[in-house]
Amino acid sequence: MLRLAIYFLLALGSGVASFFITNSTVVNMTAGLSMGLAVPVFEQIAQNWERVRILWYSLRYRNQSIRISTSYLFKIYIDGKYLLIRGSRWRNQFQPVGGVHKVSPQGSALLSAMDVTDDDLIPVDAASYRDLRVRVPGKNLFQFFQWLDSRVGREDSPWREFQEELLASGILPQDKFPHIMHNYLKHEVDPIRWSEWAQAFEILVADIYELVPTPEQTQAFKDLAATQNAEIAWVTAEQIKRRGIIPGQPPSIEISAHSRRIL
């Protein structure tokens, strides 16, 4: 962002100067410099588009309280199908393994200094305590996302939800999963929107991971797929896109909208 600001100011200064200089040679030089600097300005904007967008939000919505919910999701893909799990709060819905990031005491102190408060939309209980589901003053949005990207004082591993949802629940054998390997796929920051549900402007953030199972772990998933378990569903990409609907068949399951993130 600093480099972008420097390029922008130099390009702007060169462009303005060309209007006040009478010497044609110097005018051509300053105009050429301005045009030349415009290229790296646009390159920097493209490379930092997400930060530019958040900076704009922090100005546009500076007097609003913005609801932010950040989560991580697992792409578990075995033999052409994706593993989804029944939601803990919305029991009629299936979704990827994962959940909302947790914040450490250090992170809570940093958020408090930004005047960030807990979101009251979902009651705080033992399961949701320290969830990174918060209300951020619009003027502090850029600072908040800088903190989020730093990963300081917040959960930075998808292991907890994997362990809670698949191992502690008994869905998978714990002895086959003393540890897991995963690839980090992407970081998604949705455009700001008005949420009727929350009655507030809202930004949803998600980190997507892909499980890389060992051969033994892959076999454990195949054994799971061969059993009947009402807490999980193995679905195709088309089913995820259609929210569980299969053309020509009566609805059997409902798939969450955010499941599309793992495709």
The structural domain count of the chain equals 2
Q: How far apart are CA 39 and CA 65, in angstroms?
A: 36
In a domain, 107, yes or no: yes
Whether residue 116 is found in the same domain as residue 205:
yes
Q: What is the mean pLDDT of residues 28-32?
A: 49
pTM of the model: 0.80
Output the pLDDT for position 89. Answer: 75
Mean pLDDT over each residue of the chain, to the nearest integer: 85
Supply 162's token pair.
Answer: 């994997």
57 within a domain of the structure (yes/no) = no
* Domain annotation covers residue 122: yes
Q: Is residue 253 part of a domain?
A: yes
pLDDT score at 135: 96
Cα(231)–Cα(193) distance, integer angstroms:
32
With respect to residue 56, please indicate whether it lies within any of the assigned structural domains: no
What pLDDT, in 10s, does the model give residues 240-252? 999 988 887 877 8
pLDDT in tens, 217-241: 999 999 999 999 999 999 999 999 9
**Quick one: pLDDT band at residue 51, thresholds 50, 70, 90?**
confident
Interhelix angle 24-47/2-17, rounded to 10 degrees, is: 160
Establish if 246 belongs to a structural domain.
yes
Please report, for the domain that includes residue 113, its CATH number: 3.90.79
Distance of CA 120 to the CA centre of its chain: 21
Asked if the model's pLDDT at residue 29 lies above 60, the reply is no
Q: How many CB atoms lie within 10 A of CB 48?
A: 15
> Is 210 found in the same domain as 156?
yes
Please give the pLDDT value at position 126.
64
* Structural domain that includes position 8: 2-47
At residue 215 the predicted structure's pLDDT band, cuts being 50, 70 and 90, is very high
At 36, is the pLDDT very low, low, confident or very high (cuts 50, 70, 90)? low
* Across 184-195, average pLDDT: 96
Q: Return the pLDDT at 11.
A: 43
pLDDT of residue 53 exceeding 50: yes
Q: What is the average pLDDT across 158-169?
A: 96
Specify if 111 maps to a domain. yes
- What average pLDDT does the segment 121-137 reach? 82
**Higher-confidence residue: 90 or 13?**
90
* Alpha carbon 14 to its chain's center: 39
At 40, the pLDDT band (50, 70, 90 cuts) reads low
The fraction of the chain above a pLDDT of 70, given in percent, is: 80
Do 116 and 13 sit in the same domain of this protein?
no
Same domain, yes or no, for 128 and 33?
Answer: no
Strands (E), the chain: 65-75, 77-78, 81-86, 93-95, 98-100, 117-118, 133-137, 182-189, 193-195, 200-211, 232-235, 254-255
Say whether both 185 and 88 belong to one domain.
yes
**Where residue 37 falls among pLDDT bands split at 50, 70, 90?**
very low
Instruction: Evaluate whether residue 227 is within a structural domain.
Output: yes
